[in-house]
């Protein structure tokens, strides 16, 4: 079992590993691994790499019930064409029940609560079942992600420590699209309409020229993260 000391001692080593080699290390040393994917171009690139290492690897999709139709279409296409071991996780309450409890369009009035119900709580459930959590985060996506490591030890609210692996932390957006194009990977057509970061439909807009990649998420709300990457404590 890994420890936070182990991660810190090998941090320089992990940072030098290319994404494919880091993923190979993960799947060679751990059996309880899950990759949470929103099926962004970043995530599809990682899935493509993972499939070459462990074809039956667990891929986790958080179905908030608010994704774009284009996102659902891509998920279903890749699930079928790539024969993915894909696990859908959903919130404990439906949108209808959420509307009854909190009123219509909670995402407009309290996006943090909406994200907590529809994203964070489902992820908390699934992280209790795995030891290694792979993500598609990159340092150049936003200021909140600028200092992420490729491998980190994180403590969950219940006290469990997991390994969080960000294999493309050092990639740029250009690196992602180079990989997509070189491997002729399918991608969400919303990218062609200048949606550079694609989340839930009500809270995502196209990015304007000169804006940060994630500027189209929760625009005008002063919110940079949905909470998936802030509820754990980095050790």
The residues that are catalytic are 226
Q: What are the two backbone dihedrals, phi and then psi, of residue 58, each rounded to the nearest 5 degrees? A: -75, 120
Cβ atoms within 10 Å of 37's Cβ, excluding its own:
23
Q: CB-hemisphere CA count at 13 Å for 89?
A: 22
Q: Is 141 in a helix, a strand, or coil?
A: coil
d(CA 51, CA 143): 31
Q: What are the two backbone dihedrals, phi and then psi, of residue 40, each rounded to the nearest 5 degrees? A: -70, 170
What HEC string does 49-88 produce? HHHHHCCCCEEEEECCCCECHHHHHHHHHHHHHCCCEEEE
Which pair of tokens denotes residue 36?
């949470």
């Amino acid at each position: 079992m890994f420890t936070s000391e182990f991660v810190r001692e090998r941090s320089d080593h992990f940072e030098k590993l290319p994404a494919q080699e880091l993923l190979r290390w993960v799947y060679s040393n751990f059996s309880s691994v899950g990759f949470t994917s929103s099926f962004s171009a970043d995530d599809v690139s990682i899935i493509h790499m993972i499939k070459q290492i462990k074809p039956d690897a667990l891929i986790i999709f958080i179905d908030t019930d608010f994704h774009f139709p284009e996102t659902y279409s891509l998920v279903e296409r890749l699930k079928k064409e790539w024969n993915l071991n894909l696990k859908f996780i959903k919130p404990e309450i439906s949108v209808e029940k959420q509307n009854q409890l909190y009123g219509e369009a909670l995402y407009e009035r309290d996006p943090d609560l909406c994200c907590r119900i529809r994203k964070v709580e489902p992820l908390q459930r699934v992280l209790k079942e795995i030891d290694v959590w792979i993500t598609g985060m990159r340092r150049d996506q936003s200021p909140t992600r600028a200092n992420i490591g490729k491998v980190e030890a994180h403590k969950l609210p219940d006290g469990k420590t997991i390994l969080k692996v960000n294999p493309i932390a050092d990639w740029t957006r250009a690196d992602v699209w180079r990989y997509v194009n070189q491997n002729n990977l399918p991608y969400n057509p919303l990218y062609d309409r200048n949606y550079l970061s694609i989340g839930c439909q009500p809270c995502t807009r196209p990015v304007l020229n000169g804006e940060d990649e994630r500027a189209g998420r929760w625009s005008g709300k002063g919110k940079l993260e949905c909470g998936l990457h802030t509820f754990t404590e980095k050790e």
